[in-house]
Structure 1
Amino acid sequence: MPLVAALAVLLAPGAAHAAPSESELSKQITEASTKLEKLVEQFNKSTEQAKSVQAQIQQLETSLGPLAHQRDDARQRVAKLAASAYAGSGQLATWNALLGTSSPTDVVERLGTLQQLADTQTTMIESARDAGDKYDEQKSALQTALAKAQEDVAKLAAQKKQIEGDLKKLEAQKKQLYGTSSQTSGRYTGKIPAVSGKAGVAVTYAYNAIGKPYAWGADGPSSYDCSGLTMAAWKAAGVSLYHHAATQYDETARISRSQLAPGDLVFYSDLGHVAIYVGSGKVIHAPTFGESVKLASIDMMTPYGYGRVKS
């Protein structure tokens, strides 16, 4: 059942006479949170793709200027030659006059020179045409990219509205069960394990993020969603990851559970959730709506797989 429909059923006024038990409601909240988190991850993927398109557009805009200048310059040179020939002046007119009054030997020599002039015109014409073709091709690609980006923006706006509406319903569910929509944890005050290299930087970052609130689409420094936290932790170590759990799975090398080391990523919920392994059977993750970044057992959910960041 779609998330919106599921939450509508849960919150429908007509269902008040058959209120679910605490355990049933808790299960429903967990299921709704999981579905909503997957939607958030889809949103993150679309956002990252839109950023990529914008970067491509910027590159295209940078390349269009020189091509347009090259095309216009070649066209102007060809136009000047044409105007000069039409007016009977310039080099063409001079050589035509000489051709009509010179000796046969001079005529042969000057015919070669005329051929060179013709070749020069041809080269300029071809240069103008080639530059124009490249310009038009690049411009067409730019316009297509712009249209796609505008379409993505519209889709993202619709997704954002749906997520915000679903989030309000989920918060109401949590308040009904827990008396509040937020379950926060305090900042970590214990000793951060010493881990060498870039993995150590990522692990330290994750520990320092404990207690900060979950926020969908966020990648710090004040709040995070699951893939935003792992992305930010490794970004602090100078490694770029996509803000999308499933893509992070593709970006990392497959390892077994027995090979896990601090800094590795642990994936859950059919690639709908991701955490960073910090050793001793523990992970740090941004759980879900109304909660904060926390330290948890690696088996808080059944792991889907494990990945080592390529640093």
Structure 2
Amino acid sequence: MSSLRMLLRTLAVAGLSAALIAPSAPVRAEPSVADLTARIERSSAELERIVESYNKLNEEIKTNQASAAELHARIGPLEAQAARSRAEVGRIAATAYKTGGLRTAEAVLDPAGGSLVDRLGTLDRLTRQRQQQIDGYTADQRALLDEKGRLDATLVRQGAQSRAMARTKKRIEQDLANLYDLRRAAYGRATEAPAATPARSAPAAAAPAVSGSAGTAVRYAYGAIGRPYVWGAEGPGGYDCSGLTLAAWRAAGKSLPHNAAMQWDATSRVSRSALRPGDLVFYSGLGHVALYVGGGQVIDAPSAGRNVLKRDMNMMSIAGYGRVG
């Protein structure tokens, strides 16, 4: 066989081997930064919705804890009143026994003898004071049972909410890990670089002159610029969206719940034309809230991996505006 023919055969075999070894599917290009950014925006919006759901559960738990504490405080005196009333009934029974009125006392204390009012109506040997004492015992017992029933229901709700919070927290942590992976692929790091200037120095000095409590809230928000987004946080080290607006107005002596939808309910509606610095701007679905600082600008905690910043208020669809009373 000639050397030329051997060379051709060698090349043919090598080509066939390469064809067999090469993957049949086409090579997929790596996603571009633009593609990754779009995915990050979608993931961030979904994550913020879940975070605000978590914040709402946390607010409801705090409310239930306060209710439970109040009920516990009320049950103590009620139990003491019931104990005193039981002692009074015992004294009445002893007196009736000593005076020969045992049968009458038994009629009062026996629930099978009809309603309390009917039984009291048939008694002619007990005084009005004794009747009032027995009435008081019955009322105290009923009130105590009602309070304990409400407390039990509150504690059941609180337990269910705590379990829901644990599940939501686990999902948030997993979603955060995925989001940070996307940010590393797109930008080379999971989070934005921290602010070059400490909070409440240079940014706070740039705040516009606004009087009153609204001015205090606006200055606080300017001071938070550059601080990282931290889900569930309300400062000073980091914030989520409703945590920032809460903290800004807390500095001004006003209380807001840590949830965008609840802040919507806690504020009065204003029109866009009437918007003033310090008002809250709510976005579609009430899943995001920002603080208006004037000039068509808001300050907000955007999303995981980013820092608090000032930007155009029209960065997403606006649901409405709220004024803190």
State the TM-score, normalized to the length of structure 2: 0.79
| Pairing partner for 1:172 from 178, 181, 198 | 181
- Give the Å deviation of 1:309: 1.5
Q: 2:267 aligns with which of 239, 245, 252?
A: 252
Match of 1:286 among 301, 305, 308: 301
CA distance in 1, matches of 2:43, 2:66: 35
Which of 18, 27, 36 is the matching residue for 1:25? 36
Aligned counterpart, 1:183: 192
Equivalent residue letter for 1:199? A
Task: Give the Å deviation of 1:85.
Answer: 2.7
- CA 1:269–1:18 in structure 2 vs 1: closer, same or farther (change >3 Å)? farther
Whole-Å separation in 1 of the counterparts to 2:181 and 2:280:
32
| Corresponding position: 1:134 with 2:149 | no
Asked if structure 1 preserves the Cα contact closer than 8 Å seen for 2:206 and 2:222, the reply is no
How many equivalent residue pairs?
Answer: 273
CA deviations 1:161-180 (Å, max 9, x no partner) are 11011101100010010000
Residue number among 217, 221, 244 corresponding to 1:206 in the alignment = 221
Could you report, residue by residue, the CA deviation over 1:88-123 in whole angstroms, capped at 9, with x for unpaired residues? 269x79xxxxxxxxxxxxxxxxxxxx9584322221
Contact 1:185 1:293 in 2 (8 A): no
Q: Which amino acid aligns with 2:128?
A: D
Matched, 1:76 2:91: no
Paired with 1:25 and 1:222, the residues of 2 have a C-alpha distance of 28
How far did residue 25 of structure 1 move? 1.2
Return the index of the structure with the highest Cα Rg: 2
Q: Percentage identity across aligned positions?
A: 45
Cα distance in 1 for partners of 2:64, 2:189 equals 41
Equivalent residue number for residue 240 of structure 1 = 255
Corresponding position of 1:36: 47
How far residue 52 of structure 1 moved from its aligned partner, in angstroms, is 0.3
For residue 258 of structure 1, report the CA deviation from its aligned partner: 1.9
1:45 matched to 2:45? The reply is no
CA deviation vs aligned residue, 1:114-146 (integer Å, no higher than 9, x gap): 958432222111110100000000001101101
1:270 to 285, 291, 294: 285
Alignment of 1:16-165 (within 5 A): 17=28, 19-86=30-97, 88=98, 117-165=126-174
Q: Give the C-alpha shift of residue 296 in structure 1.
A: 1.2
In structure 2, what is the Cα distance between the partners aligned to 1:267 and 1:43? 18
Q: Which runs of 5+ in 2 are unaligned?
A: 1-26, 103-122
What are the superposed Cα offsets for residues 179-218 of structure 1, whole Å, 9 maximum, x if unpaired? Answer: 0011145246152211101100100111111111111111
Greater share of helix residues, 1 or 2?
Answer: 1
Aligned partners of 1:228 and 1:218: how far apart in 2? 6
The DSSP-based 3-state class of the residue aligned with 2:273 is: helix
Two-structure CA RMSD over aligned residues (Å)? 2.0
1:263 counterpart SS class: coil
| Alpha-carbon shift at residue 300 of structure 1 (Å) | 2.3
1:103 is aligned to: none
Secondary structure class of the residue paired with 1:257 = coil
Q: Which residue of 2 aligns with 1:219?
A: 234
Unaligned runs of 5+ in 1: 1-15, 94-113
Q: Structure 1: how far apart are the matches of 2:32 and 2:206?
A: 40
CA distance in 1 between partners of 2:317 and 2:129 (Å): 73
**Equivalent residues of 1:181, 1:290 under 8 A apart:** yes
Report runs of 4+ in structure 1 exceeding 6 Å deviation: none
Instruction: State the one-letter code of the partner of 1:34.
Output: A
| Contact 1:184/1:290, CA 8 A, preserved across alignment | no
